[in-house]
């Protein structure tokens, strides 16, 4: 079973966070995206194309959620990672409200992983945006 602590799980999670960081530093935000480990153990990245040039985040998220659930049900995916740029709910005490939320789902496991971040915009002495992540935390289904 792939869950936190498993080497493959950690590698895919790290890849999702690297993609999120790259988009935050280059664009200041990102559309939701999905990653999964397929039945052969390969890492796959997927986006949600709604047919619109600038789709709503809600529509993109719904499309990705449906596609990733289908991949799990069909046995195409062992575990899915739905990655979203969020405001972390105030019930969680974090150093920053901005965060990356990764919803991890497999046949017998589900959890949310929040990673707060601070985005610093370009300035006089800084040519590009920089992202600083603080320590992430896991929220199990009974805590959601």
CA dihedral 23, 27, 32, 37 (to 10 degrees): -10
Q: 15 lies in a domain?
A: yes
Q: 102 lies in a domain?
A: yes
Residues 118-129 pLDDT 10s: 999 877 776 788
pLDDT of residue 131: 95
Q: 132 lies in a domain?
A: yes
Taking Cα atoms as reference points, which of 107, 118, 109, 116 lies closest to residue 136?
A: 116
Q: 125 lies in a domain?
A: yes
Asked whether the beta carbons of 99 and 115 are under 8 A apart, the reply is yes
Q: 1 lies in a domain?
A: no
Q: 71 lies in a domain?
A: yes
Please say if the pLDDT value at position 86 is more than 60: yes
The residues pairing with 81 across neighbouring beta strands, listed in sequence order, are 35, 104
- The structure's pTM equals 0.87
Confidence class for position 144, pLDDT limits 50, 70, 90: low
pLDDT of residue 4: 65
Confidence class for position 56, pLDDT limits 50, 70, 90: confident
Q: 2 lies in a domain?
A: no
What is the chain's mean pLDDT, rounded?
A: 88
Q: In the predicted model, what is the mean pLDDT of residues 14-29?
A: 94
Please say if the pLDDT value at position 2 is more than 60: no
Please give the DSSP secondary-structure letter assigned to residue 128.
Answer: S
Q: How many domains does the chain have?
A: 1
Q: Which domain holds residue 89?
A: 7-143
45/40 Cα distance (integer angstroms): 15
């Amino acid at each position: 079973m792939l869950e936190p602590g498993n080497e493959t799980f950690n590698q895919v999670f790290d890849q999702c966070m690297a993609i999120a960081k790259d988009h935050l530093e280059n664009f200041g935000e990102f559309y939701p995206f999905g990653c999964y480990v397929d039945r052969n153990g390969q890492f796959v990245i997927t986006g949600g194309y709604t047919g619109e040039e600038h789709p709503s985040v809600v529509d993109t998220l719904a499309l990705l959620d449906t596609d990733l659930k289908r991949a799990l049900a069909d046995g195409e995916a062992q575990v899915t990672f739905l990655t979203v740029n969020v405001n972390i709910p105030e019930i969680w005490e974090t150093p920053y409200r901005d965060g990356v939320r990764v919803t991890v789902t497999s046949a017998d496991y589900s959890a949310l992983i929040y990673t707060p971040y601070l985005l610093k915009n370009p300035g006089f002495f800084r040519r590009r945006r920089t992202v600083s992540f603080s320590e992430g935390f896991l929220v199990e289904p009974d805590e959601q």
